[in-house]
Amino acid sequence: MPRQFGTIAFTPAVRAMQERMGSRENYQRFVDQGADNNTVTPDLAEFIASMEGFYLGTVTANGYPYIQFRGGKAGFLKILDERTLGFADFRGNVQYISVGNLSENDKAFLFLMDYRHRRRLKILGRARIIENDPTILSKVKDPSYAATVERAIVFEIEGWDWNCPQHIPIRYSQAEVDVLLARIHELEDLLSSSA
């Protein structure tokens, strides 16, 4: 458990529950002795670059969490520097709940899930909306992806944590299934031609 993530996530109520359930001492040791985990490591960079989507969590003015999926081509979540991520915010259902929430409260959460390899990454931080900065917008835009970019969202990492793989079902993307099916057909053709 990274120090910064635990410092943020382990509120008094969470610490009380950990105490009650018997895990507090273990998690306190991780917070006290763990790495800061508030910068992008090579392993984190590789994982982020492989992702085609993630969940963005924001907080409404009335205190409710709001979760929205963000997707694009693999690597659309960009690493801007060792503590900063950014992505193009594409036109979607035009409700603007996430960006509305961010206009009042910059606390945000990124949840990246790799079902195939049973890995998940939680990132806490602060996000801001960028609409009129051509430099940032050019860094997050992918000219080969046909979607309307309305703005960029820039995310400052405050802490991250890998979550355990327990209970993650294995799933494959359509692209991964297509590759597997092509290989199956290739092997079937080899078998039928050698029979």
Query: Does 28 share its domain with 90?
Result: no
In this structure, the answer to whether residues 17 and 74 fall within a common structural domain is no
Q: Are residues 9 and 87 in the same domain?
A: no
- Does 138 map to a domain? yes
| 194 is a domain residue | no
Tell whether 59 and 153 lie within a shared domain: yes
Task: Report if residue 192 sits inside a domain.
Answer: no
Predicted TM-score of the model (pTM) = 0.86
Shared domain check, 106 and 91: yes
pLDDT (0 to 100) of residue 18: 93
113 and 143 share one domain: yes
Query: Which are the contacts of 107, defined by CB distance < 8 A and separation ≥ 6?
Result: 58, 59, 124, 126
**What CATH number is given to the structural domain containing 155?**
2.30.110.10
Q: For residue range 59-107, list pLDDT tens digits in order.
A: 999 999 999 999 888 888 999 999 999 999 988 778 999 999 999 999 9
pLDDT at 164 (0 to 100): 81
DSSP states of 162-190: EEP-TTPPP---HHHHHHHHHHHHHHHHH
In a domain? residue 142: yes
Query: 100 with 51, same domain?
Result: yes
pLDDT at 20 over 60: yes
Residues in the chain: 195
108 lies in a domain? yes
Q: Which residue has the higher pLDDT, 172 or 14?
A: 14
pLDDT at 168: 86
pLDDT at 53: 92
Is 190 within the bounds of a domain? no
Residue type, 119: R
| Longest Cα separation, the chain | 69
Number of domains the chain is built from = 2
**58 and 9 part of one domain:** no
Q: How confident is the model at residue 33 (pLDDT cuts 50, 70, 90)?
A: confident
The range of the structural domain enclosing residue 105 comes to 38-169
Same domain, 46 and 140: yes
Do 11 and 42 have their domain in common? Answer: no
175 part of a folded domain:
no
pLDDT band at 1 (very low <50, low <70, confident <90, very high): very low
Which stretch of DSSP H or E encloses residue 130?
Answer: strand 119-130
| Same domain membership, residue 8 and residue 97 | no
Highest mean predicted confidence (pLDDT) among 23-37, 111-125, 156-170 = 111-125
In a domain, 188, yes or no: no
- The answer on 162 and 66 residing in a single domain is yes
